[in-house]
Amino acid sequence: MNKNVSNLINSDLLQARIDEVIERTLSEKRLVGAVLKVAIQGTEYYSRALGYADREKNRHMQENTLFRLASVSKPIVSTAALVLLSQGRLHLDDHVDKWLPDFRPRLQSGELATVTIQNLLTHTAGLTYRFFQKEQDSYEQAGVSDGMDQTDITLEENLRRLASAPLLYTPGMEWKYSIATDVLGAVIAKVTETTLSEAVRSLVTEPLGMQDTGFIAVNPERLSAAYANDTPEPRRLRDDLDTNPFVEGTAGFRLSPMRALDNRAYQSGGAGMVGSAGDFLQLLETLRKGGAPLMSESWVHKMTTNQIGDLPMAYWPGRGFGLGFTVLKDPVAAATSESLGTWRMGGTYGHSWFVDPVKQISVVAFTNTALEGMSGQFTVDLCEAIYEGIRS
């Protein structure tokens, strides 16, 4: 730990640098609204809501605004799994079919595959997402949901469809960002003999006081509208179904913003949660400080260190993967000022976050504008502004 970071911070300068980045991004109409929180060595140095939660209704962003989390759900659900691991109720080398007897996917050869809990947590399970595939590829033909569209199928039915499609590779041999956390969510529900929602509540959100976080918006009036970055300004996503081919040459995302208000939609562990920036910062800080009261520091160490060796990661050069999110292996290759070992990820609806364990920085940037808020220039500029404020 760097115990002298706080002595290097010019608080006014740090706030000014962050303000400049977000105000410029808003003025250039690349974002509609955002909530940013930055904690350094346990002290919240920055907390601000800017722009609109709902542009068309002239509703301004508030610090307690609720957001569709998409992949920000993954670290929350992965944390629930780590709690079960720390309690000895689940094991990394458990075969998934021990808990889900009907989930028995096959390799391209037709041979039954062995998928473990570690494979699910590290995204080395042989799975992918429909939105990464080409149109009419195996997942679309099987009718697999990515967990963000409006669908009336159950989680069990979605996993049945998923298992009917051949794995892309032998588990453990490659890394591909995937729907694995949905499968993990089903395992968590089975281990705890309850719903995934109740399991996450009892294992994670209730102990940490994360009252805003769940699979349905706790207060619809606080829920932000959802937008996609577009020109000349972001466009509002349709409430029923909006298809966005954010990755060229792929089938693209099918996003149904109303899913956040539909308690009939199955609980997607990888993309289905709703929450606030303050709640998520609480989770990040809990893990950064060692995991209490959720788990031991040894399990946090496993979660936040690279677990996939030198397997290449598409889209994230210089990074490895822990038990639920990316871990920085090479700051030069990643072209970032973050310290070695920094954990980071984002979410399709427009979020980014990172924890620098060396400088003890936790950052949450929740926006309502995909894709700019997830991996656009805003995330790069924000990161650099924070480190410039610390160095100056």
> Which residue in 6, 27, 47, 71 is the catalytic one?
71
**Strand, coil or helix: 279:** helix
The terminus-to-terminus CA distance of the chain in angstroms comes to: 20
- At residue 357, the 3 state secondary structure works out as coil
Q: Classify residue 29 as left (phi > 0), alpha (psi -120 to 50) or beta.
A: left
Q: Of 16, 53, 111, 78, which is closest to residue 367 (Cα–Cα)?
A: 53
Judge contact between 162 and 179, C-beta under 8 A.
yes
Give the CA count within 13 Å in the CB-facing half-sphere of 270.
25
Residue matched to tokens 């691991």: 85
Do residues 78 and 325 lie in contact, with contact meaning Cβ atoms separated by under 8 Å?
A: yes
Cβ neighbourhood burial of 240 (10 Å; 0-12, 13-18, 19+): exposed
**In 139-151, which positions are buried (b, 16+ CB within 10 angstroms) versus exposed (e)?**
bbebbbbbbbbbb
Q: Which amino acid is at 207?
A: P
Q: At what angle do helices 73-86 and 180-192 cross, to 10 degrees?
A: 40
Rounded to 5°, angle at Cα 305 from 303 and 311: 110
Nearest-angstrom CA–CA distance, 382 and 385: 5
Residue 71 catalytic? yes
333 conformational bin, left if phi > 0, alpha if psi -120 to 50, beta if neither:
alpha
- Give buried/exposed letters for 252-274 (b at 16+ CB in 10 A, else e): bbbbbbebbeeeebbbbbbbbbb
Catalytic residues: 71
